[in-house]
A = this chain, B = another copy of it.
Amino acid sequence: MSSYKDIVKLTGLSLGTVSNVIQGKGNVKEKNKEKVYAAMRQLGYRIDYQARGLATNKTSLIGLIVSNIENIAETKMLMPMETFAENHKCRIITATSRNDSDRERRNCEAMLSSKVDGLFIFFESLENEEYFRNLAETEKIPIIFLARYLDNCKLPYVAVDNQYAAKSMVDFVYERGHREITYLDIAEESMLSPNRDRRLGVELECKKRGIVYKKREYKRLENDMEVGYHAAEEMILSKSMPSLVFPRDDSFAIGFYNACIRYGIRIPEDVSIMSFGNFYPKEVTPKRLTTYDRRFDKVIHEATLMYLKIREARDNGLEEDKIKKKLFVKGNIIVGETIKDLTK
């Protein structure tokens, strides 16, 4: 491990000059620049971000806390996050909370101890409201919620516009002649902002149009596909299959779809499916799912933009008031083949 010291020795220049060359700052004679470059190459020198961070009081580290990294929805946030990191020369530290609020808090603390320049949080438990409210008061780095929000907390967020989503989806099926919707949710998670907003949105839009709205809730299992599978199986065996279902997300829908195939229920002839997420490749089902694209890429894009704005304001002592800190991102319907057109 070579350091500036070694370069100083090799070149005979001073620490300050070496630093200037490496940072590409100040006025340094071309000849001396070359000397430094040569020494760097010879030594296989590599800058030490840690030391630089200590000196500059930032780390170029961005924290990303998710709930369950194996959940395909959350996976979708990683790539755009990496792209941001690449473009802004920073690195991502990740941590997973696994639906455990203690762990979530520990993760936050570790991130703050790691002196991340910014922190993005995708939470899944509602138990840390107070903790987050407190963070909002005490921390000076930007902390931004992803795809969820807390009603009584000042932390900024970028979420999916679930009311808009609800309206789009109800519109879509209404236009195709559907007059009855059965909403399928997972009980334990039904009060998280996105699930709640969407469910209530669908209910409201149904009321407006005189559509019959029904709701069924299922117990959380190992994964959402399993829940969807069992939900469909139960309906099939009890002969209570609705004409149209709104599963809470694509994973649920896929399980549902496969139980239908298994039992010879035809899609969309016997049951239509309006899914939510657009997380999987279209070949994940025999007929492409009709689903609502949540645009997590946009969520991350907006969140990182917001982060930059907040940082800039704080670094330069500007007023932060003008920055919009509560954003909702609109998605769009992906037209697949799982909604029967009743008007034909």
| Residues in chain A within 8 A of chain B (CB atoms) | 1, 44, 46-51, 53-54, 59, 61, 69-70, 72, 75-76, 78-79, 82, 85-86, 91-96, 103, 109-115, 138, 140, 222-223, 225-226, 228-229, 251, 254-255, 258-259, 261-262, 280-287
**What chain B residues lie within 8 Å of A110 (beta carbons)?**
91
- Bound together, the chains give a CA A222 to CA B96 distance in angstroms of 28
Q: Which of A44, A50, A61, A75 has the most CB of B within 10 A?
A: A50
- Bound together, the chains give a CA A159 to CA B271 distance in angstroms of 45
Q: Which of A47, A223, A258 has the most CB of B within 10 A?
A: A258
- Bound together, the chains give a CA A44 to CA B137 distance in angstroms of 12
Knowing A91-B93, A262-B286, A283-B254, the reply to whether A78 touches B70 (Cβ < 8 A) is: yes
Interface contact B91-A92, CB-CB below 8 Å: no
Report the minimal beta-carbon distance from A16 to chain B, rounded to whole angstroms: 20
Knowing A79-B69, A225-B284, the reply to whether A50 touches B53 (Cβ < 8 A) is: yes
Interface contact B255-A50, CB-CB below 8 Å: no
- Bound together, the chains give a CA A287 to CA B284 distance in angstroms of 14
Additional A-B contact list (18), CB under 8 Å, known A46-B113, A70-B75: A1-B140, A47-B113, A50-B50, A50-B53, A54-B54, A61-B93, A69-B75, A72-B75, A75-B75, A82-B94, A91-B111, A91-B114, A92-B95, A93-B94, A259-B286, A261-B286, A262-B286, A262-B287
Partner of A229, one of B95, B228, B254, B283: B283
A–B complex contacts, Cβ < 8 Å, 7 sampled: A49-B113, A70-B75, A78-B94, A82-B96, A91-B110, A223-B281, A255-B281
- Bound together, the chains give a CA A229 to CA B115 distance in angstroms of 46
Q: How many copies of the chain does the oligomer comprise?
A: 2
Residue in B closest to A68 when the chains form the complex, CB atoms: B79
Interface contact A283-B78, CB-CB below 8 Å: no
- Bound together, the chains give a CA A270 to CA B251 distance in angstroms of 28
Interface contact B281-A49, CB-CB below 8 Å: no
Interface contact A78-B91, CB-CB below 8 Å: no
Secondary structure at the A interface, as helix, strand, loop or mixed, is helix
Interface contact A48-B262, CB-CB below 8 Å: no
Interface contact B50-A114, CB-CB below 8 Å: yes
- Bound together, the chains give a CA A280 to CA B225 distance in angstroms of 10
- 6 A-B pairs with least C-beta separation: A225-B283, A229-B283, A261-B286, A255-B283, A225-B281, A258-B286
**What chain B residues lie within 8 Å of A282 (beta carbons)?**
226
**What chain B residues lie within 8 Å of A82 (beta carbons)?**
69, 94-96
Residue in B closest to A103 when the chains form the complex, CB atoms: B86
Partner of A109, one of B46, B85, B223: B46
**What chain B residues lie within 8 Å of A1 (beta carbons)?**
140
Residue in B closest to A112 when the chains form the complex, CB atoms: B46
Residue in B closest to A258 when the chains form the complex, CB atoms: B286
- Bound together, the chains give a CA A49 to CA B93 distance in angstroms of 13
Residue in B closest to A233 when the chains form the complex, CB atoms: B283
- Bound together, the chains give a CA A85 to CA B114 distance in angstroms of 14
Interface contact A96-B114, CB-CB below 8 Å: no
